[in-house]
A and B are shown apart, each in its own frame.
Chain A
Amino acid sequence: MPRILTGNRLETGDVLWWNGADWSTRIKDAVAIGDEGAALLVTLIAAERINDPVLIDVTGEPGAYVPTTTRERVRASGPSVRADLARGSLSVEAI
């Protein structure tokens, strides 16, 4: 199962996903992380700029990854009870 890297921006609390080179606020941009994941996490945690960086399981294809847990789908979309606040890249219906 593919894994992607997610975290929260220190300054804003924004939910982020790693796109291979930088952080994006859209889960659509997330790339699958392989063996480099462990080293990447160590660096991120030491740098203290991204809160709670963690690798999460997803299903689906690149550009359309969907997290396997409801919790991460909520993080990717927004509160399931506020479709008006949903981020575009994962709809509330997908939660």
Chain B
Amino acid sequence: MDNSRHVASGDEQDQQAVAGAPSPALNDAPAKLRLRDDAPFESPIAPLADFLAGGNFAAVRIEPGEDVRNLVSHLDRLKLIEIAFPKFRDGRGYSSARILREAGFTGEIRAVGDVLVDQIGFMRRVGFDSFAPDAPLDPAVVHATFGRYDHVYMKAADGKAPVWQLRHG
């Protein structure tokens, strides 16, 4: 039986199916928060299917259910890869970003959609360097979030040394 007769929160806590949520609209405007020094790339962003069909695009959008490895052989053509977060709980985009960095992509990776300030620390670690959230981010909280952790336990895509490296050199 399901828990729907209980109060709405169903705090099991906080379980919601996220697949199939509508994706954020494609929007070619520059990201609201960008951590890169180079000029923002402004150009149409293609859905993955269009890009793979042979369109001449330098920017592509990846949805949560799409396999980012389809782009690995095309990375030299791409300046910007946008990874969608229709719901912040859907964590597939974190793997997508990190896979791109592991594959050697050095262009802009943008998180778009239901992106909350409390996630951007994790997002930066897995390789995102720009953010286009649906709702504005409080700059003070952004600043605090990015400066929160001097140390990390594990390697990710940001090149930050894990503590075991600091311990042993």
Contact = CB atoms under 8 A, between A and B. Distances in A.
A–B contact, 8 Å CB criterion (strictly below) = yes
Interface in A5-39: none
Interface string A33-53: 000000000000000000110
B16 interface: no
A71 B6 CA distance: 9
B13 to A, nearest CB: 11
Interface of A is mostly: strand
Contacts of B9: 51-52
Contacts of B8: 52, 54
User: Number of contact residues on A: which range applies?
Assistant: under 10
B137 to A, nearest CB: 19
Contacts of A51: 9
Nearest to A71: B6
Contacts of B6: 71
Interface in B1-35: 6-9, 11
A75 to B, nearest CB: 10
Contacts of A71: 6
Contacts of A54: 7-8
Contacts of B11: 52
A29 B9 CA distance: 25
A54 B4 CA distance: 12
B145 to A, nearest CB: 22
B9 to A, nearest CB: 5
Task: Identify which of A51, A52, A71 gathers the most chain B CB atoms within 10 Å of its CB.
Answer: A52
B7 to A, nearest CB: 4
Task: Identify which of B7, B8, B11 gathers the most chain A CB atoms within 10 Å of its CB.
Answer: B7
Nearest to A6: B7
A72 B140 CA distance: 42
Nearest to B6: A71
Nearest to A56: B7
Contacts of B7: 52, 54
A51 B11 CA distance: 11
Interface in A40-95: 51-52, 54, 71
Interface of B: 6-9, 11
8 contacts: A51-B9, A52-B7, A52-B8, A52-B9, A52-B11, A54-B7, A54-B8, A71-B6
